[in-house]
Amino acid sequence: MDANFWHQRWERNETAFHQREANPLLVKYFDALSLSKGSRVFLPLCGKTLDIHWLLSNGYRVAGSELSDVAVKQLFSELATEPKIKAINDIHHHSADNIDAAML
């Protein structure tokens, strides 16, 4: 994977890969995991996927990782929440109610 490719895509707002709704397969099959409400779900390379909104609105907590600072900022903006940001070496940890996102 070329990290620079993805950084450039986010910086240019070339994110047509985002769906306009939560992934239909996630919505259809998520209950099969039998997770209790409040369970934490990890989403690698999460971007600002609407899957996060869906999980939060259904009572789950989300932990995500992402390459792009732009994506993480947009995610929290779209969630209408101001994250607490903590830098740990090269990792920037953004957190708010029920969501943590690490920018690697």
pTM: 0.91
The pLDDT of residue 55 is: 98
How far apart CA 28 and CA 93 sit, in angstroms, is 30
Pairing status of strand 91-96 against strand 84-88? antiparallel
What does the DSSP 8-state code read for residue 58? T
The residue ranges of every structural domain in the chain are 3-103
* Residue 82, amino acid: E
pLDDT value at residue 7 = 85
| Mean pLDDT, contiguous 10-residue spans, the chain (104 residues) | 86 88 96 97 94 97 95 94 93 95 88
How far is residue 81's CA from residue 62's CA, in Å, rounded to a whole number? 14
User: What's the CATH class of domain 3-103?
Assistant: alpha beta
Alpha-carbon span 86 to 92, nearest angstrom = 6
pLDDT value, residue 98? 97
Classify the C-alpha dihedral 50-1-65-59 as positive or negative: positive
